[in-house]
A = this chain, B = another copy of it.
Amino acid sequence: MAKSQSNPRFHARGRSRGVGGAEEGFALSGRIWVEKEGETFLGWGRVVLLERIREHGSINAAARSMGMGYRHAWDLVDMMNRLSPKPLVRKVTGGRRGGGSTLTAEGTAALENFWALVDDFRAFLRGRDARIWRKRRKPRAKA
């Protein structure tokens, strides 16, 4: 899954239209996340954790694959499940390795919806001029 490998800080270059030299190299960057009543519910790190849980079938293995402490991973999963109307991760019992964890339908939807938001956000960043010091022709209305 290529997306989970990439850097949590992402940006889209604010390429100038026909302007080069000293004005190149500027980029608008940003981050987005979802809050529930002021608490972080879902951001980049948690979404990657969900992806890894889906991939590895286990919270501990998912944490290990990210270099994250498993206690921290369990706390994050617990928090996501608590804040969500329906849990995003559930335990599975039995199977070859005697149980583990998997995503619920809501967890899978959360992944897909988050990446769709990120795609939209990238388009937003890309569509705007990062040359912030430039005077605009059209002045902003005072009212």
Indicate whether A36 sits within 8 Å of B31 (C-beta atoms), given known contacts A106-B133, A132-B113, A135-B109: no
Closest partner residue, chain B, to A23 (CB atom): B85
A-B contact pairs, 19 of them (CB 8 A): A11-B35, A26-B35, A26-B41, A27-B34, A28-B33, A28-B35, A29-B34, A29-B35, A32-B125, A34-B130, A34-B132, A42-B132, A106-B133, A106-B134, A109-B132, A109-B133, A112-B136, A114-B132, A116-B140
Instruction: Name A residues whose Cβ lies closer than 8 Å to a Cβ of B.
Output: 11, 14, 22-23, 25-37, 41-42, 84-86, 88, 105-107, 109-110, 112-114, 116-117, 120-121, 124-125, 128-130, 132-136, 140
